[in-house]
Amino acid sequence: MNAPANLKYTKSDEWFDPSSGAAGITDYAQNQLSDIVFVELLVDEGEEVTVGKPIASVESVKASAEIYAPAAGKVTAVNKGLSDKPETLNSDPFGEGWMIKIEGGSTSDVMDSAAYTAYCDERAH
């Protein structure tokens, strides 16, 4: 499992990059979902999001899940290319697989990489 140290993480398996405002689903989440085959982004540029607001819906060969905003603020960018290439989330969830970018980016109840890795390890047992 990959959990880059520069990111913040939620218990619902989203990541947030405080420096760029980018957000998406974690490597752990995409691994649990298996092969992601569909992505629908539920927010647009200019919208305000709050922590926990649904920002996307994803479907895999074995499950579907809602993805929630890990931070509050104004959406400044939406990765519209994910709808055409949902498999990007399987191969590069922290890079090309970003979902939205949030300006302001106030967070609550996020973990650093070490805490998130420990949290995922607890759930695996």
DSSP string over 30-80:
HHHH-SEEEEEE---TT-EE-TT-EEEEEEESS-EEEEE-SSEEEEEEE-G
| Higher local confidence (pLDDT), 109 or 88 | 88
pLDDT of 125 > 80? The answer is no
The pLDDT score that the predictor gives to residue 109 is 85
| Mean pLDDT (whole number) for 6-19 | 96
Average pLDDT of every residue of the chain: 94
pLDDT at 84: 95
| φ/ψ (deg, to 5) at 63 | -165, 170
- How far apart CA 22 and CA 16 sit, in angstroms, is 6
Q: Which of 114, 98, 118, 77 is closest to 17 using CA atoms?
A: 98
Which CATH number among 3.20.10.10, 3.40.1360.10, 2.40.50.100, 3.20.20.70 corresponds to the domain 24-106?
2.40.50.100
Q: Is the pLDDT of residue 61 over 80?
A: yes
Average pLDDT (100-116) is 91
Query: Domain residues of the chain, as ranges?
Result: 24-106
